[in-house]
A = this chain, B = another copy of it.
């Protein structure tokens, strides 16, 4: 089964292949990256919009994902704005060359006096096959630390402490992160949904 992956991120493709290849899925990157406006207000909607755009162009079943960090004490932010949190109109903007660092800086600043530090990573994956498809959700529960630690991973990993650990996600080697990640959980569930009758 040939499946297109709606991403231009080769690291993400590698992660997806590791999980899906054993099940006979043959993943491919699109020849061309499409500019898809993520106008949705939720992860599900944005993953759907991306998958559908590539399907419409290439007429192949397409897998897309949208994910982010949800902090309930910040009303769910950064949420769908996770990757560009530093630049949006919520608690002031943060400048810097590296968006990941700027996002983290802003998050720690906003949470300086926040006691409830619970947070979770959330991923939604959509496999669109034309006029419909399959979707699945995955979470990784945890908390926001007081300072950055670790150099693995990306995004908010240096300040995200997964439940049951006393290290940040960025201190965990990739194999360990991939075992507990929201993305892994969403994909595992996607496979279960596909087997469901």
Copies in the complex: 2
| Cα–Cα, bound, A192→B192 (Å) | 17
B134 touches A138 (CB 8 A): no
Q: Say how far A84's CB is from chain B's closest CB, in angstroms.
A: 19
Q: Which of A4-12, A36-44, A94-102, A143-151 contacts B (4 or more CB under 8 A)?
A: A36-44
**Could you say which residues of chain B place their CB within 8 Å of the CB of A133?**
134-136, 193
B-facing residues in A106-138 (Cβ within 8 Å): 129, 131-138
Task: Report the separation of the CA atoms of residues A133 and B125 in the bound assembly, to the nearest whole angstrom.
Answer: 11
Please measure, in the bound complex, the distance between the C-alpha atom of A1 and the C-alpha atom of B197, giving whole angstroms.
8
Residue with the highest number of chain B CB atoms closer than 10 Å, among A44, A132, A134, A190: A132
Using a CB–CB distance below 8 Å, which chain A residues touch chain B? Answer: 1, 40-42, 44-45, 48, 129, 131-138, 186, 189-190, 192-194, 196-197
Q: List 7 A-B contacts (CB under 8 A).
A: A40-B45, A44-B45, A44-B48, A131-B136, A131-B137, A132-B134, A132-B192
Those 3 A-B pairs whose CB atoms lie nearest each other, nearest first: A132-B136, A132-B193, A132-B189
